[in-house]
Structure 1
Amino acid sequence: MQPAGIRSANAARPTSLPDLNADLGLGGAVAEGSAERFLNRDGTFNVQRQHTGLQGVNLYGELLTVSWGRFFLLMALAYMLLNAGFAALYNALGSSALSEMPAPGLQRFLACFFFSVQTFGTIGFGHIYPRSVAADWVVTGEAFVGLLGVALATGILFARFSRPSHRMLFSESAVIAPYQGGQALMFRVMNGHRTQLIDLSAEVTFSHFEEIMVEGLPGAGAELRRVRRFYPLALERSRVTFFPTSWTIVHPILPDSPLWEQTGELLEADDAELLVVLRATDDASQQSIHARSSYKASEMVWNARFRPIHSKDNAGHLRVDVARLSHIERVTGKNAAP
């Protein structure tokens, strides 16, 4: 008797080890050893890199991808630290460095700090000014740093605004629904921005564990091993030119599909995951965007289909209800899976 999840065709045919590593770039250790999903629903990967050191820090990339709240917080922190550093220099030059210097202590440091802010921002109120050559040199250095800082902050801010962005919405669940006398795997996507997307393409990969016969070392013969395999799914339509409403992506479950004769229990036992990559062009900026997501076996609903999402108003204009993107209904009848 075969254990659950074994495919007899694969078990009868020994498979060489190099073929087992033909994944999506996740690596054999990640593919076979991970107990988590590969892709989170927001498209991020469940892989953490350790001991990269300072050389692994890409400050420009971090500033481009960090959230807006953290970005402004980092900019404010850098601004305060720069001014505090120059304030410490002015304070260290003594009471003769600047005019109207208070007595040593917190008041003097604050006076130096706010003078640094005026210099950094080229405000120049005029009631405090440098009175020594050393202070003039510090002011010169701060003015130069201020020019560079403003240029860098402006450049990063512009780069953040000009980055291609998207709000691709995925249905909360994928469904196994009746389709042309059989069944099909379906999930729904929608553009959550008011800008238009064109030339949208989809790539869907099915991943799960299989127990297959694998050729071992010379003389050791074949052995039964549980390995993760990746199968690109053939879609009813893999590309749409226009994307003004929503798109239900359909994979017909035919005899050559890896989902043929599968059940929800088998997919759960085999740790199945559906990996989705979407690519499109933003019509406003003409920039390419991409979105990723995934569905685990527990997020695939059997014998269900999506409810209608389109309607028309009194004037006959087509409307799409974003709130109904994930609404499904159960299906019964001869096409329902047992």
Structure 2
Amino acid sequence: MSASGAEPPARPAAPDLNADLGLGGAVAQSSGERFLNRDGSFNVERRQVGLQGINVYGELLTVGWGRFFVLMAAAYLGLNAVFAAAYDVMGPSALSAMPGHGLARFLACFFFSVQTFGTIGFGHVYPASLAANLMVTVEAFVGLLGVALATGLLFARFSRPTHRLRFSERAVIAPYQDGQALMFRVTNAHRTQLVDLSAEVTFSHFEQASEPGGRTRRFYPLALERHRVTFFPTSWTIVHALVPGSPLWGQTPQSLAAGEAELLVVLRATDDASHGQIHARTSYRADELRWNARFRPMHRTDEAGHLWVDLSRLSDTEPVPAPAADRPGQ
């Protein structure tokens, strides 16, 4: 207690040097852009990595389905075009019952390649020279490898654990017990179930450094009301109480904006269907916090008494009265 009888303001917890989530000093001290986009992607590019940065397998696993099938079709048509050109170069005597020259011959060679590549073999065209037979042998081998690779990629894409964890568009500063708390919601938009869901929330902002006019970014892990849930059938409101000692204690919308504050969120869970580990990331900046508001209920009950969750209300909020200390004249 001070001499006036009032308690001195509580000091926030010391920053955790390991709480920057691996962003690194250069990224941490940058300003102007958020660390994490709302979809969990990073605002950092890697340039001049050279050919060693190419990961065809990784790209084919993570690219969208539409682009994946376009790339597979392009590879398939490209390989057949290469073999068709090889048959065409061998001359009219390489394959039986073929046009002598021009586009018609190339197309006939192309469709023969398609039949060979897919081991279809209609039989009306066959290799008539040693060179053509050797080329058919090579193409059959390449076709076997191509089918095996395409099958493996499809299986890997289907078996790869994915998620549709949806975060509320905004976080709120809402009433909580006798004070306030930071809250945001998350729900599972997949029909599969998630278990052992854990959350990690880090508060980051610029603080004044010791040198005049200098600023340094600090990271503070936030203590959550509950950092882990075993079952996740509906939704989860993640809560950090604003109490003395919290890095958010005494903060205002203006101070958070001036410090370029950002809340970094990392969620981990196990997919009950595939038993694979999934990860989800997002962040909230100062302008994505809604003060003196609370989330509207998402849960409904039908006429038969069954509970259901309205995912369209994930981000719905409503205003609440500001705490007495924040009201004019109090």
Q: CA deviation at 1:210?
A: 0.6
Tell me the equivalent position of 2:72.
75
For residues 288-321 of structure 1, the C-alpha deviation after alignment (integer angstroms, 9 at most, x for no partner) is: 1111011111100001000011111111111110
Q: 2:36 aligns with which of 39, 51, 67?
A: 39
TM-score (norm 1): 0.90
For residues 174-226 of structure 1, the C-alpha deviation after alignment (integer angstroms, 9 at most, x for no partner) is: 0000111111000000000011111110000011111122xxxxxxxx66620
Unaligned runs of 5+ in 2: 1-8
Tell me the equivalent position of 1:254.
243
Q: Which runs of 4+ in 1 moved over 3 A?
A: 7-10, 19-22, 333-338
Question: How many residue pairs end up in the alignment?
Answer: 318
The CA distance in 1 between the partners of 2:268 and 2:274, in whole Å, is 15
Q: Report SS of the residue matched to 1:45.
A: coil
Identify if the C-alpha distance between structure 1 residues 68 and 268 changes in structure 2 by more than 3 Å, giving closer, same or farther.
Answer: same
Q: CA deviation at 1:103?
A: 2.5
Identify if the C-alpha distance between structure 1 residues 300 and 271 changes in structure 2 by more than 3 Å, giving closer, same or farther.
Answer: same
Q: Report SS of the residue matched to 2:205.
A: strand
Tell me the equivalent position of 1:241.
230
Q: CA deviation at 1:249?
A: 0.2
Q: CA deviation at 1:34?
A: 3.8
Tell me the equivalent position of 2:280.
291
Identify if the C-alpha distance between structure 1 residues 305 and 299 changes in structure 2 by more than 3 Å, giving closer, same or farther.
Answer: same
Tell me the equivalent position of 1:280.
269
Is the counterpart of residue 196 in structure 1 residue 193 in structure 2? yes
Unaligned runs of 5+ in 1: 1-6, 214-221
Tell me the equivalent position of 1:174.
171
- Report if aligned partners of 1:20, 1:227 keep a CA contact under 8 Å in 2: no
The CA distance in 2 between the partners of 1:139 and 1:109, in whole Å, is 16
Tell me the equivalent position of 2:6.
none
For residues 257-303 of structure 1, the C-alpha deviation after alignment (integer angstroms, 9 at most, x for no partner) is: 11111011111111111100011111111111111011111100001
One-letter code aligned to 2:54: V
For residues 106-165 of structure 1, the C-alpha deviation after alignment (integer angstroms, 9 at most, x for no partner) is: 111111101000000011111111000000000000000000000000001000000001
For residues 237-270 of structure 1, the C-alpha deviation after alignment (integer angstroms, 9 at most, x for no partner) is: 0001110000000000111111111011111111
- Report if aligned partners of 2:10, 2:244 keep a CA contact under 8 Å in 1: no
Identify if the C-alpha distance between structure 1 residues 66 and 206 changes in structure 2 by more than 3 Å, giving closer, same or farther.
Answer: same
Q: 1:325 aligns with which of 310, 314, 317?
A: 314
TM-score (norm 2): 0.92
Is the counterpart of residue 229 in structure 1 residue 229 in structure 2? no
Q: 1:63 aligns with which of 47, 60, 65?
A: 60
